[in-house]
Amino acid sequence: METSYAMHGLIDKLTNNEITNILVIGLKNSGKTTVLKQLGDITSTEITKGFEVEEVEYKNTKFTSFPMGNPNFDKIRRSFYSKISGIIYILDCTNSQPSQIIYAYDELAVILKAEELTAKPLLLAANKYDLKKLSFFEIADNFNYRRLGIIRRTYTQHTMGTTGAGLLEGLEWLFGTIEGIRARNRKVVEESAHEDVHVPTSILSTAVAFVTGFFRKP
């Protein structure tokens, strides 16, 4: 598909071929499988009864999706978290029922509270926007990121999973943000490695005098 080809070019440009794992989550019927199909061929694996994992891979980048909700699968979900570089949350814009909006928010909050996902960038994909019943204002109001109690870089993008519209723009932000974080981390490591250990002149002089005096003949 055109979106997958464009995405491949984006990944080549922004990831520097580093291993990148993106978690793609959303409530049932939000359209996450349709979105994944825009990114490439899906490989499905049933980890255990009732818990199926869908994945799309390109070089060193992997998109992973699994069902939300059932707390019995929390341990399995957490086994994926340590490798995650960024998160895409698929929101169904056609479902404007207050109870469903609250449920979608609460389920996202549960996932984001995981320690392993702290500060990972989040892309909120407002999906099925062509059939929207939720306005951008309602989305922003109900998904107030500050209320999640977690500091992270966030971005909201309108998408249409059936055509791929808006998806590339959202991915460009997500991959760009991930690479920005990596660049800053690399800079910190490089600066730490090149820091010289300076010994104060007074201490150095005292040490030299002591050694000289110790070996001086009477």
Q: Tell me whether residue 5 is annotated as binding.
A: no
60 is in an annotated binding site: no
Q: Is 127 annotated as a binding residue?
A: yes
Smallest CA-to-CA distance from 94 within 143, 140, 30 is with 30
Q: For strands 20-26 and 154-158, give the pairing.
A: unpaired
**Secondary structure of 66-132 in the HEC alphabet?**
CCCCCHHHHHHHHHHHCCCCEEEEEEECCCCCHHHHHHHHHHHHHHHCCHHHCCCCEEEEEECHHHC
Determine whether the annotation assigns residue 32 to a binding site: yes
Answer yes or no: is 129 a known binding residue.
Answer: yes
206 among annotated binding-site residues: no
Closest CA to 85 of 43, 117, 39, 42: 117
Q: Say whether 130 counts as a known binding-site residue.
A: yes
Query: Is 29 labelled as part of a ligand binding site?
Result: yes
CB 13 within 8 A of CB 37: no
108 annotated binding-site participant = no
26 is in an annotated binding site: yes
- Binding residue per annotation — 34? no
Annotated binding site for GTP, which residues? Answer: 26-33, 127-130
Annotated binding site, which residues? Answer: 26-33, 48, 127-130
Annotated binding site for Mg(2+), which residues? Answer: 33, 48
